[in-house]
Structures are given as structure tokens and as C-alpha cells.
Chains A and B, each alone.
Chain A
Amino acid sequence: MKNTLIEIKDLCVNAEDKEILKGINLKINKGEIHVIMGPNGSGKSTTANAILNHPAYKKVAGEILFEGENINDLKTDEIARKGIFMSFQLPEEIPGVSVTNFLKYAKNKITGEPVKIFKFKEEVKKYMDELNMNSKNMERSLNVGFSGGEKKKNEILQMLVLNPKLAILDETDSGLDVDAIRTVSKGIEMFKNENNAVLIITHNTKILSSLKVDYVHILVNGKIVKTGNGELAKEIEENGYSKYKN
């Protein structure tokens, strides 16, 4: 049990009084990469948002244990400080707050320790080079005027800098070209180690090709209908979800 990072038990979630998740069970251990796939509207993003306790998603049953602790009702920032990160499908634009100041501030909040500026800048620069990001972006307002690809890379940069125990990537690959997807995969590989875990939410298998995926879960209509290994993703790529829809 020591290696279990997050365990979701019989989770039911409503959004605007509509049932979205109807009893999800999921266990992720340290060192693992999990993937949730499923057709639009099946509840993939709801799962991610529910873990972060987004106020619009109400947990009506079940529980989420993170390192053995029930985090159902923790505030989003408390959950983040426990070590859970989510890469957003549509990252928000924050005018007037530079990427560099934001990263410093967030790093300080997550670690509770003062950020050593010089070392921090070097670290950020290294990650940006790896992600083929323009270092001029550091002084721009967070996500303002960024292209879709720049925004997604910026999410991966934040993941690397904040170094969470569990990174949830909500459709990080959607809308990206082949090169950008490769960069995102590279970022995940850089991040991944035996003490952390990644949960990738996608309906695209391209991002999975260069990653060693441990489990693939098929989510349909608010339930996980099938769990398998990386081969399952290939099967979905070839045959789609129709087989699981009933």
C-alpha cells in the first residue's frame, strides 16, 4: 500500500445536477503512467476537475484518497500543495502577471520555501530549452497572446517547475501538431520518475507512442468499462469506442 499515490473509490460526481461520473474506481501507484480514454462527454475532464475539487463539480458519493488521506473536501490550493498538478485543456490568460513572476510565486506557495532566484532561473531556462520554448516568453503575461501550442508547453513547463507527485494532463495533446506533441511527450519523460505518477487524459493515441504506458482505462458514460495495458490504446485507435458503448 505504501506505493499507492491516489485511490479513487466509487466516485460519483454531478455537474449542474446532472450525473457525470457514476462510480469510478482508479488506483495509481508511484512510478506509473495511466491513461484515461473515452468519447466526448464521457466524464474524462470531470474526473480531473473532481480530483482538484473544482467547485462546479459536486461529489455525491465515493472518496478520493491521496497518500492515504481523504482529499474530497480540501480546497483546490490545498490539493495542489499536497502534490497534485493538472495541465489545463484551456489554460487561463492572466494579464499583467509575467510567466517568471507567476512561476516563482507558485513555486513558493507549493514548497512553502523561499525561491532562490538565480538557481530557479537557471532551472527554468533549462526546461524551456528542452521544450523548445522562446525564453522571451518568460517576461510576457501568463498565456496572454500565446498560441495553442505555446500555452500547452507552458503547462508542461509549470509541471516540471512545480514538480508534483501526481501530474494530471487533461487533453494536453489536443490541437497540437506532431512536433508539439513530441515536445510534450519529452516533457513527460523528463518529469517521470519512480516516485511520481502521471494520469493522461486524451482521445488521441499519438502522445502515447513514445511513452511507456502502464494502464489504459476506457471511460464511457461516467464509468470505467475496461482497463488494459498500452495495447488497449492501439485497439481503440483502430476500432474506436463503439464496442464499449453498450
Chain B
Amino acid sequence: MKTNLEEINRNIYDIKNKDDYDFKIKKGLNKEIIEEISKQKNDPDWMKQIRLNALEVYNSLELPTWGPDLSELDMSEIATYVRPKTKLNSSWEDVPEEIKDTFDKLGIPDAEKTSLSGVGAQYDSEVVYHSIKEDLIKQGVIYTDMETAVREYPDMVRKHFMKCVPVNDHKFVALHAAVWSGGSFVYVPKGVKVDIPLQSYFRLNSPESGQFEHTLIIVDEGASLHFIEGCSAPKYNKVNLHAGCVELYVKDNAYLRYSTIENWSKNMLNLNTKKAIVGKNAGMDWVSGSFGSKISMLYPMSILNGEGSKTEFTGISFAGAGQNLDNGFKVIHNAKNTSSVVNAKSISKNGGKCTYRSLVRVAENAQNSKCSVSCESLMLDDISISDTIPTADVRTEEVEFSHEAKIGKISDKAIFYLMSRGLSEADAKAMIVRGFASPVSNALPMEYAVEMNNLINLELEGTIG
């Protein structure tokens, strides 16, 4: 009972362009390969050193001993750098037809016209399009691809690159630092409020390859920004790898909202790392919709270093057949009067597995802090799996801490109730699921809330017997 409209929708994400590249590094990971990437990218020497050092760290670290089984990942089968057949463009007209067409279908140029103040678009390993509104440039806002930032703002990059997320954080951070390519750099000067969001979209087209984009955002004192990140890839039979890294610096009295809609294909291993350091009286909000990937291990982290800083995480994961989404949130309360609110949701169906894994740490010096965690799981059938693994490490008495977890199956009574109002079984389930996900869609700008609801509808398609 699929409608044509929905068929077209799914096809958008599954557009498979020819694996037509300007340069694709040979598969595998060793010093020669890293040196070749560095050469291809024209790295300054300091960046080359970071890469080579990171490779050593990578080789010295083990795979995580917890969480999903990553044994199918064979780095000797992955090409870590694929340069598309185009340069960085500042006009969509100059982007090659086939690539432009993909972004057109994903709605990026349209969104740019109506609801964004800047856009970055990455295709495989390189950013192919970047733009920012004139008035933001006048106010000193920098929004550019990471390579340009390394060249043009080396001091700022060196000071912050792999400092929020240290290279030895875990094996895939080290991998990222060794082979990173693409991503976005944002600097918002003191006191500047960027009212309309910036968006970077990451598209991985090439099979048996990896995407390792680096996002570095600095929101200076008293400034504010909403940054949106979107990702997708067509489905291939072999494993693709995404190991991006997001480093966010939210200075005193600043505010950053970081929204993600992620719809990787179901052959993707998504081992992404995201951290934010939050200053005095600053605010860091995360909104996350995680739909795709075969395995996902994603635990954004807020480090509340400044007194009175706040963070909020609102996220949803949706796992279908063959998917194992091990997602969560980490927060470190490292100063007085800090607060965190976590609202995590997961949906699993057709045997999919969702795990909410979290860490809350409240340091000795973080008196009078508050932390409230709520996680809720919805299973659409009897064969799906949902799990909650929270860790709390609270080292001061003067803290308000609450944790609430709910795991449940979709209610047959509620389905019957809605069907008695004329909704088909599929419509009823979709309405219940959309309602369940509404705290996340409500936190997204309208266009993205619509996209998320479309993704939910696509995921639910065909689940009705």
C-alpha cells in the first residue's frame, strides 16, 4: 500500500551517483596513506604532524570492549579519502550537474533560499559548496569549509583543533584525526546573534569509503548560533564508515543550538564524536534525530565548565531491522550552579535494537547543580530490543539529580482507539510514533520537523502486516 509520493521520497536518499571521483586513495590505513592524504590536501606541516601522531595513537588503541560488535569493520577495505570531481564552489551553478542534482533532491538549495543564512555541502571527502549571507560577513561571522579555515585562520584552528576532543579519546577519534577531510568551521564574534540557522550537509556517495568531516564551532562571548547538520548516503552492500568529529566551544554568556538529522544508509557504521565545552552562564542545546546506519555509537557530550552554564539534550533514535543504535548523552558538571536536562527517546521495530547509554558526572566543585534525565523507549513489536544503560557519578551532596526510564510496547488499545476514528492501522501507528517523537520534532525548525516526520513515515512503511 505504498503511495507514489513515498516511493519518490525514499529514492531521494538512495540516489546512487556513479562512483566518479577525481582522486580516491587506495584502501587501508598506514603511514604512506596518511602522508598521501596530507599531500593531496596540501596540509601545513603542523597538520601533517597531527595526522601522523594520530595514526600512532590509533594503532595503540583497542576497539571498545563494550557496546555493539565492530568486528566487521576492516580498515584495509575502506578508502579514507575520496575527492569529488569539483572544486569548492560558491555558486550552485558551478557545482557539477550530477552532484548538484543530488543536493537539489535533498532540498538543500531550496532551504538555503528560504530558511538558512549559510550553507555548506560536502560530497564524499570534500566540501563542494559553501555560502554565507553578506550581512553575517559584515558582522565578522566566519563560516567556511575546514580546509579554508586551516589555511586562512591557522591560529584559531590550531588553538582549538582536537583540543575539545583529544586525539586519544578513543580509537575512532584517533582515526578521524589521522584522515579527516572536509567539514565546517564557524566563528561567531562576541555579542553577535545569528538569528537564522547555518546548515552543513554531508553526503557520502562513494562505496567502501569513509567520511571523516571535522566541524569546529566557536561561539564567542555573548554570541548565539543555531547550527544544523544533515547527513545521508545511498545504500551499498559493503560497509561504509562515518567517523566525524564535532568540537564546539560556547564561551561565557553565549548560546549554541546544534541540531542533527542523520539518515545514513543501513550499511553505515556511524562512529561519530561530538563534544561541547560550555562557559560561564552559557547554554548548549543538542537536538538529534538518528535514523540510519547499521551500527551507531554516538554520545554527544557537554562539559559544563562555567558557573551557571546549562545544557539540554533532546534526541531520538529509530532502529529497524538489522540496526543497532547505541546512542546517548554525556554531561560533566564541572562548576557551581550548572544544570542539564536530558530527554532521550528511542523507537525500535522489526528486530531493531536501541540502547540508551549515558553518563552523568557531577564533580565535587559543582555544588547546587541540577540534572534531570528522562529516557523513554517504544517498541513496535515483540522482536525488537530496547535497553537503557545509565551511569551516574555524583561527587557532591548538593545536587538535585533525577533519572526516569520507561520502556514500553506500542499500545494495541491506543491503535484501536485511533482506528475507531477512521485512521488505518498504519496511520494510527504513525500518529502514535510521531506523537512520541514530538519533543524532538518540536525542537527542530519547521522544515526539519517535516523531514523527520517523513522519515518516521518511511520507516513505518511496510511494517504493517
Contact = CB atoms under 8 A, between A and B. Distances in A.
Interface stretch (B261-269, B295-303, B415-423): B415-423
B149 interface: no
B318 to A, nearest CB: 15
A81 to B, nearest CB: 5
Contact of B425 (A77, A81, A96, A141): A77
Interface residues of B, number: 24
Interface in B403-433: 411-414, 416-425, 427-428, 431-432
Interface string A89-122: 0011111110000100110011000000000000
Contacts of B439: 96
Given A77-B423, A106-B421, A106-B423, A92 B434 contact: no
A232 interface: no
B110 to A, nearest CB: 24
B420 A97 contact: no
Contacts of B191: none
Nearest to B442: A96
A86 to B, nearest CB: 5
Interface string A59-92: 0000000000000000111011100011010011
B53 interface: no
B435 interface: yes
Interface residues of A, number: 27
B432 A94 contact: yes
B438 interface: yes
Nearest to B433: A96
B419 A76 contact: yes
Contact of B438 (A76, A93, A97): A97
Nearest to B439: A96
A109 B423 contact: yes
A80 B434 contact: no
A95 B419 contact: no
A106 B434 contact: no
A34 to B, nearest CB: 19
A110 B418 CA distance: 12
Given A91-B417, A105-B431, A96 B422 contact: no
A46 interface: no
A54 interface: yes
B187 interface: no
Given A96-B438, A141-B435, A110 B422 contact: yes
Nearest to A85: B420
Tell me what chain B mostly uses at the interface: helix, strand, loop, or mixed: helix
Contacts of B423: 77, 105-106, 109
Contacts of B422: 77, 80-81, 106, 109-110, 162
A110 to B, nearest CB: 4
B92 interface: no
A75 B421 CA distance: 12
Interface string B221-261: 00000000000000000000000000000000000000000
A52 interface: yes
Contacts of A93: 414
Nearest to A90: B413
Contacts of B437: 96
B436 interface: yes
B322 to A, nearest CB: 27
Contacts of A76: 416, 419-420
A93 B435 CA distance: 11
Contacts of A102: 421, 431
A221 interface: no
A29 interface: no
Nearest to B437: A96
Contacts of A196: none
Contacts of B425: 75, 77
B419 A97 contact: no
A158 B422 CA distance: 12
Contact of B436 (A85, A95, A105, A162): A95
A160 to B, nearest CB: 13
B416 A110 contact: no
Given A75-B425, A77-B425, A109-B427, A94 B420 contact: no
Contacts of A110: 421-422
Contacts of B428: 77
A76 B435 CA distance: 21
B435 A86 contact: no
Contacts of A158: 421
Nearest to A109: B422
A88 B421 contact: no
A151 to B, nearest CB: 11
Given A52-B416, A88-B420, 20 more contacts: A75-B419, A75-B424, A76-B419, A76-B420, A77-B422, A81-B422, A92-B413, A94-B431, A94-B432, A95-B438, A96-B434, A96-B437, A96-B439, A105-B423, A106-B421, A106-B422, A109-B421, A109-B422, A110-B421, A141-B435
28 contacts: A52-B420, A55-B416, A75-B425, A76-B416, A76-B419, A77-B425, A77-B427, A80-B421, A86-B420, A92-B411, A92-B418, A94-B418, A94-B431, A94-B435, A95-B435, A95-B436, A96-B434, A96-B438, A96-B439, A97-B431, A97-B432, A105-B431, A106-B423, A109-B422, A109-B423, A109-B424, A158-B421, A162-B421
Interface of A: 52, 54-55, 75-77, 79-81, 85-86, 88, 91-97, 102, 105-106, 109-110, 141, 158, 162
| 6 nearest A-B residue pairs (beta carbon) | A96-B435, A96-B438, A109-B422, A76-B419, A97-B435, A92-B417
